[in-house]
């Protein structure tokens, strides 16, 4: 057993919090070492995130992908909402510099495409299980009861639900879309009594948003 897995195994909360905090710390680093560095850090963060998921997997029983028509519907609907709602509300913070590898490394350069595909893969396969495990599995249930594993995933509590959706929303530049997105994903968890459908919906949303960005060059969504 690796050192990290030994640390994660010390408590169910650690297994869900530590990987998320490591990923969050790498995200924070993206904007603090220059424009070019943020692309390399994102790529490194994606690779690190995949390793963190590998270490978490045996310890977090609910972190399993699941496919359903509801997950597909919610994933597509959230992407449409995210794009369609964007012009109509003030954002939470100052507009960041768009994440555009073509502008940084040259249009259609091989390196630019490495970062683009790396971001799409990371946002599709790495971000959803990390975020869903932290917000929908841990935070929501921990607000209800410190022994959060004793709380069923489908237990409905409105204040913890709104708190979790708000926390998720305000972690995004597009805060309003983020709140609605969090509520939609959590509806899947409550309906299915499992995390996997929300992970799948989250992955569909992020992959479709990546394709939209490439198609329309709407780099501000990244």
* Sequence ranges of the domains in the chain: 64-221
Looking at residue 170, the DSSP 8-state letter turns out to be T
Report residue 9 as tokens.
């195994």
What confidence score (pLDDT) does residue 10 get? 96
Closest-CA residue to 185 (of 138, 129, 136): 136
Taking residue 33's Cβ as centre, other Cβ atoms within 10 Å add up to 11
What confidence score (pLDDT) does residue 124 get? 98
What confidence score (pLDDT) does residue 95 get? 60
The span from the CA of 83 to the CA of 216, in Å, is: 11
What confidence score (pLDDT) does residue 113 get? 97
Angle of helix 196-216 relative to helix 110-121, nearest 10 degrees?
A: 150
What confidence score (pLDDT) does residue 80 get? 98
The span from the CA of 17 to the CA of 46, in Å, is: 17
What confidence score (pLDDT) does residue 196 get? 98
What confidence score (pLDDT) does residue 187 get? 98
The ranges of the chain with pLDDT < 50 are none
What confidence score (pLDDT) does residue 211 get? 97
């Amino acid at each position: 057993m690796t050192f990290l897995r030994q640390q994660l195994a010390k408590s169910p909360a650690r297994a869900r919090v530590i990987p998320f905090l490591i990923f969050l710390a790498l995200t924070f680093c993206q904007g603090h070492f220059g424009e070019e560095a943020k692309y390399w850090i994102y790529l490194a963060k994606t690779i690190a995130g995949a390793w963190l998921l590998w270490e978490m997997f045996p310890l977090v029983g609910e972190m399993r992908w699941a496919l359903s028509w509801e997950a597909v519907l919610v994933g597509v609907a959230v992407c449409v909402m995210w794009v369609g709602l964007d012009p109509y509300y003030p954002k939470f913070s100052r507009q960041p510099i768009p994440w555009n590898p073509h502008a940084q490394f040259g249009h259609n350069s091989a390196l630019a495409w490495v970062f683009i595909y790396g971001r799409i893969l990371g946002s599709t396969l790495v971000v959803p299980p990390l975020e869903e495990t932290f917000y929908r599995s841990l935070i929501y249930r921990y607000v209800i009861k410190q022994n959060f594993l004793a709380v069923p995933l489908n237990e409905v509590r409105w204040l913890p639900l709104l708190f979790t959706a708000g926390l998720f929303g305000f972690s995004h530049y597009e805060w309003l879309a983020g709140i609605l997105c969090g509520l939609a994903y959590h509806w899947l968890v409550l309906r299915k009594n499992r995390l996997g459908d929300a992970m799948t919906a989250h992955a569909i949303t992020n992959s479709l948003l990546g394709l939209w960005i490439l198609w329309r060059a709407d780099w501000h969504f990244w």
